[in-house]
A and B are shown apart, each in its own frame.
Chain A
Amino acid sequence: MAARSQVLSLYKQILRESEKFPSYNIKTYALRRTKDAFRANKSVKDAQTISSFMKKGNEDLNLIKRQVSSLLMYVSTEWLLFSRPI
């Protein structure tokens, strides 16, 4: 069974990684969804459920890492159409 410290460490890693999303909407969603999911399940005691959540959490962490690194490659600060002020 995953110890409390492992759960908290995963939680912090996901939040830290989500902070890197270049899109404001995606970033706020990822942070909010992570906090809500961990909070909703904070009183889960069943060892099997916890380990399945931990597995899912680790998969999600890897997904966020992959997406953050690829999305960062295409960050554009300028709109193609409105490069001049309107």
Chain B
Amino acid sequence: MDVQATTPLDPRVNDAMMPYHVNFYGNPHSRTHAYGWEAESAVENARQQVASLIGADPREIIFTSGATESNNISVKGVARFYKSRKKHVITTQTEHKCVLDSCRALEAEGFDVTYLPVKTNGMIDMEQLEAAMRPDTSLVSVMAINNEIGVRQPIEEIGELCRSRKVFFHTDAAQAVGKIPVDVNAMKIDLMSISGHKIYGPKGIGALYLRRRPRVRVEAIQSGGGQERGVRSGTVPAPLVVGLGAACEISQQEMEYDHRRISMLADRLINTVCNAIPHVIRNGDPHHTYPGCVNLSFAYVEGESLLMALKDIALSSGSACTSASLEPSYVLRAIGADEDLAHSSIRFGIGRFTTEEEIDFTAQKCISHVTRLREMSPLWEMIQEGIDLKNIKWSQH
């Protein structure tokens, strides 16, 4: 139930990768013998599979180690390449840490960064985005599907606006590619990050889509042998790339089937939980959302206690990257959730391999533990007595 963190390897993907682990172990950049040619043709085939999923040209796909690296190359790479003329980057407050941290690094180098706030439903305000654009804006980076609350941003509209202003548009689509239809030309996306292990592929592989027309240029972060058109030096890991390609092809074939099923399971979970217990709030816009990511806040319950009580289910209060900290999620704070609700939220991830039994088990466990924890809670008692918690002046010791 934590498929936003990672997904299990699909056996079909594993099957495609195995020969490249054991037999065809050549370096795809070796041009002088058959081992190299074999690996190279497999890598090029995978490039085609990835490109076909997003409606791109295979030459626009750069293999990286994952979406974090793709995001770094996009944000830092574009800003640094165009820094002589353009010194401004726009992003949102609900981006993944790697985009926000890349922006912080740019700020330290003297760039201006605008962190757009989001509305209470988690969507960005298009007018605010337009107002934030400046003549020296080089890049807008907005994620397609939020990893914590599942909100889908209006990518097409943002793409349209950026193209008309001649600003490059990067989207972190780690949670979107393979799950919802993405077409880089229809959506006017200039750079896009893709992750392998979010779509039932192997970990340690991802891709960057880099538009050729109009050409987007980036400054490489890693120096080396100039592989992947000089954007990402380092030997391309052929088995992982084959796995990413297979995962993309399977998601393309299974997208409709998976989506139907995931929507059904998400409705089942939300309905069961919300019908059984009051004061459950779904975070993020209920319509512009990806159903496989359900973020619920259970008022008057402490999220970490609930997670402890539900420890036999793999759940998380937010992204895996920040799950070690007890701080409430910055994404939830950005959508204006009260501190107490941000503390009591849980993210339910539903994926290709989730079953009805798991959904029912999770829902029942959740209901019984929330009820139990609320019975222990003095806040809940006060609510039952009709006291408005917001008006209480807590004394400080």
- Which A residues are closer than 8 A to B by beta carbons? 21, 23-26, 28-30, 33, 36, 63-64, 66-67, 70-71, 86
Contact = CB atoms under 8 A, between A and B. Distances in A.
18 contacts: A21-B11, A23-B8, A24-B355, A25-B8, A25-B353, A25-B354, A26-B8, A26-B11, A28-B353, A28-B355, A30-B11, A33-B257, A63-B12, A64-B11, A66-B15, A67-B11, A67-B15, A70-B18
A25 B359 CA distance: 12
Contacts of A66: 15, 18
B102 interface: no
A29 B311 CA distance: 24
Contacts of A63: 11-12, 15
B8 A71 contact: no
Contacts of B358: 25
Interface of B: 8, 11-12, 14-15, 18, 257, 311, 352-355, 358
Contacts of A70: 14, 18
Nearest to B261: A32
A43 to B, nearest CB: 18
A21 B18 CA distance: 18
Name the residue among B11, B311, B354, B358 with the largest chain A CB count within 10 angstroms: B11
B14 A29 contact: no
A21 B9 CA distance: 14
Q: Which 5 A-B pairs have the closest CB atoms?
A: A25-B353, A67-B11, A29-B353, A63-B15, A28-B355
A34 to B, nearest CB: 12
Contact of A25 (B12, B15, B355): B355
Contacts, number: 31
B4 to A, nearest CB: 16
A50 B306 CA distance: 51
Nearest to B9: A26
B183 to A, nearest CB: 25
Contacts of B354: 25
A67 B353 contact: no
B11 to A, nearest CB: 4
A60 to B, nearest CB: 8
A23 B11 CA distance: 11
Given A23-B8, A36-B257, A29 B15 contact: no
Contact of B14 (A28, A36, A67): A67
Contacts of B353: 25-26, 28-29
A86 B352 CA distance: 29
A30 B311 CA distance: 27
Given A25-B354, A28-B355, 16 more contacts: A23-B8, A24-B355, A25-B353, A25-B358, A26-B353, A29-B352, A29-B353, A33-B257, A63-B15, A66-B15, A66-B18, A67-B11, A67-B14, A67-B15, A70-B14, A86-B311
A56 B358 CA distance: 30
Contacts of B15: 63, 66-67
Contacts of A30: 11
A64 B353 CA distance: 16
A26 B257 CA distance: 16
A61 to B, nearest CB: 12
Contacts of A36: 257
Nearest to A18: B11
Nearest to B254: A33
Contacts of B14: 67, 70
B11 A71 contact: yes
A33 B261 CA distance: 11
A66 B12 CA distance: 10
A24 B8 CA distance: 12
A54 B352 CA distance: 24
A24 B311 CA distance: 19
Contacts of B18: 66, 70
A72 to B, nearest CB: 12
Nearest to B358: A25
B255 to A, nearest CB: 14
Nearest to B356: A28
A26 B358 CA distance: 13
